[in-house]
Amino acid sequence: MLIHRSRWLIVLFMIIVFSGCSTNVTSTPNPFPETVIPLRELADPINFYVGTSVRYRPFVDEPMYTQMIAEHYNLIMPENMMKLDALYPDPDTFTPERADAILAFAEENDIAVRGGPIIWHNALPEWLVDNGMDRDSMLVFMETYINTVVEHFQGRVYAWDVVNEAISPSGSGLRTDSIWMQTLGEDYIALAFQLAHEADPDALLFYSEGGTHFERAKAESTYQLVRGLVEDGVPLDGISLHLHVDARNSFDAEFLYDEMQRYAELGLLIEITEMDVRISRLSGSMEERLNIQAGIYQEALDVCLQITACTTFATWGFTDQHSWIDARFGEDDPLPFDSNYQPKPAYYALVQSLQTASQNQNR
Ligand code: G3I
């Protein structure tokens, strides 16, 4: 009995100490499930999208994975299943079935879907990379590809990342290691938007770029590209920004605000569509690192919530169990839920920001 009572005292102590900020990365099942507010419950009333990318294997294999998504998110993006290599295993075979399954799940759960990336230098099938197409045959392929994909998903995808990561990593201009650039020249960007708009005039069309939060030259080149597209009357509705952050070298919130603001001044929507925060190379205890991570997530969401044109905050995955980071940078814990699907301080930080925005009714 004494043991039983002291356990409850510990629980009470944890509630007081960690209210609004609990857990560690190797957590046991959450002792306070009632304190986990669905993120979308806070986002829906302020007309805001809170999203995640969806990986196909756990989507199929892990009921907890889909349950968490349905509970917390009002927006999803297939992580890889709408990429060219997934949709076209060979030139004459269109395989949208896995993306269709994710979209059916979204419809059942009243979740909006962003699609893409349509045109990217990466995730290309070998048959396309290897076949040495000239300009004319690439133009024919591009037209067929964009028509087929956008029409197939029409009405189910509210926004597309039409062109993704066209700026070179250093920010020196358009990247040249792109099959689209090599065969079609820089006009491929405007052309892709034109074709996507013709295929679905109701879909919102985004240019999508990563790394502008820490590489100033890239931020500038991206802005110049996007401004040029707007000035040329290209059907472009917004910019989606990827914030793959290393906590050792995060971003300057004021800079991010100014960056978003200048896109808003061009009349564009802004979406944060790929955020994760790597913490494995930070020094300090795990608790300290998780709190730093929470602060970084909160800063990004707060900036977005301050700008009316910023409509979306989405992470690239939501559980540390399934993130592209481990394969690319080594094991890490970059997302708001841990590997056991338990909320981390980052989750509570997002909750706090959404609650503040809805209390201030600043949306
Ligand atoms: O599914 C196969 C598996 O069967 C095979 O055994 C294994 C061997 O390597 O590969 C698996 O496929 C990998 C796939 O991720 C699923 O995990 C591919 O090789 C790998 O290239 C692919 O990487 C994806 C990458 O884009 C390229 O498409 C990442 O998951 C995905 O998170 C990443 O996402 C991009 C965004 O689209 C654009 N912005 C940057 C972001 C991170 O690179």
pLDDT digits (tens, 9 = 90+) for 48-61: 999 999 999 999 99
192: pLDDT confidence band, cut at 50, 70 and 90? Answer: very high
Of the pLDDT bands very low, low, confident and very high (cuts 50, 70, 90), residue 174 is: very high
* Confidence (pTM): 0.91
Identify which of 52, 80, 206, 315 to mutate to test ligand 1's pocket (most ligand atoms within 8 A of the CB).
80
Active site residue 165: yes
Give the pLDDT confidence of 284-327 residue by residue, as tens digits: 999 999 999 999 999 999 999 999 999 999 999 999 999 999 99
Nearest CA to ligand 1 atom 33: 324
Atom of ligand 1 nearest to the CA of 53: 32
Which of 143-177 are b and which e, b meaning 16 or more Cβ less than 10 Å from the residue's Cβ? bebbeebbebbeebbebbbbbbbbbbeebeebeee
Are the CB atoms for 82 and 123 separated by under 8 Å? no
Distance of alpha carbon 69 from alpha carbon 55, whole angstroms: 11
Sorting pLDDT into bands at 50, 70 and 90, what band is 363? low
Residue nearest to atom 4 of ligand 1 (CA): 57
Side chain identity, residue 17: V
Candidates 79, 165, 209, 271; catalytic one? 165
**Tens digits of per-residue pLDDT, 69-121?**
999 999 999 999 999 999 999 999 999 999 999 999 999 999 999 999 999 99
The arithmetic mean of pLDDT across residues 17-33, rounded, is 42
Residue 240 in this model has a pLDDT that exceeds 60: yes
Token pair, residue 228, equals 């040029």
Active site residue 215: no
Residue 80 alpha carbon to ligand 1 centre in Å: 7
Distance of alpha carbon 111 from alpha carbon 193, whole angstroms: 25
- Residue 324 CA, ligand 1 centroid: distance in Å: 7
Site residues for ligand 1, CB cut-off 6 Å? 79-80, 83, 117, 122-123, 164, 210, 242, 274, 324
Q: Dig out the tokens for 325 from the structure.
A: 């980071």
Q: Select which of 79, 209, 274, 299 is catalytic.
A: 274
* Average pLDDT score over the chain: 91
Q: How far is the CA of 265 from the centre of ligand 1 (A)?
A: 34
Whole-number pLDDT of residue 19: 42
pLDDT of residue 108: 98
pLDDT at 3: 35
Query: Ligand 1 centroid vs 308 CA: distance in angstroms?
Result: 33
CA 349 to centroid of ligand 1, rounded, Å = 28
Distance CA 102, CA 349 (A): 28
User: What are the helix (H) ranges across the chain?
Assistant: 2-18, 39-43, 56-61, 63-72, 84-87, 97-108, 126-130, 135-152, 179-184, 188-199, 216-231, 253-265, 286-306, 324-329, 345-360
Give yes or no for residue 12 having a pLDDT over 70.
Answer: no
237 and 286 in contact (C-beta within 8 Å)? no
CB-based contact 295:263 (threshold 8 Å): no
Give the up-direction half-sphere exposure of residue 164: CA atoms within 13 A in the CB hemisphere: 19
Residue bearing the CA closest to ligand 1, atom 35: 79
Q: 242, 210 in Cβ contact below 8 A?
A: yes
Question: Ligand 1 centre from 248 Cα, in Å?
Answer: 24
Using CA positions, which residue lies closest to atom 7 of ligand 1? 327
**Choice from 54, 79, 165, 222 to test ligand 1 binding pocket (greatest atom count within 8 A of CB):** 79
Task: Compute the average pLDDT of residues 275-284.
Answer: 97
Q: How confident is the model at residue 132 (pLDDT cuts 50, 70, 90)?
A: confident
Alpha carbon distance 118, 229 (integer Å): 17
